[in-house]
Structure 1
């Protein structure tokens, strides 16, 4: 199981995938908002989205798990 983690502290602005979706390495899965900037967070590996740990509007810290991909 591979984990996609937050690259910086911020709010979850948009989740662009759903559980069961197939994602490719480098594909954006979550967009964070920090200091009025949108920061895309990409999958580091290809696979199937197994779990989404956050909801839009949640605040996350750097290193928090956002999504699990299998």
Structure 2
């Protein structure tokens, strides 16, 4: 199981995956926006998204859990 956390304070601009989706290492899970820059959050491991903890438009803090991949 791999947890994906935010590396900075940001807005969730776009959610690319849904719970139950299969992802490969390097796939984009969500796109964050901070200081007018779009920052893709990538899957570090292949697997299935079992939890998605963000919604579009939400402001998240550094360390916030974004997704869990099994």
The TM-score with structure 2 as length reference comes to 0.94
Partner of 1:42: 42
- Alpha-carbon separation, structure 2, partners of 1:46 and 1:9: 25
Preserved CA contact (<8 Å) 1:7 1:41? no
Uncovered stretches (5+) of structure 2, i.e. residues with no partner: none
Q: Does 1:57 align with 2:57?
A: yes
Partner of 1:14: 14
CA RMSD of aligned residues (A): 0.7
> How many residues are aligned here?
70
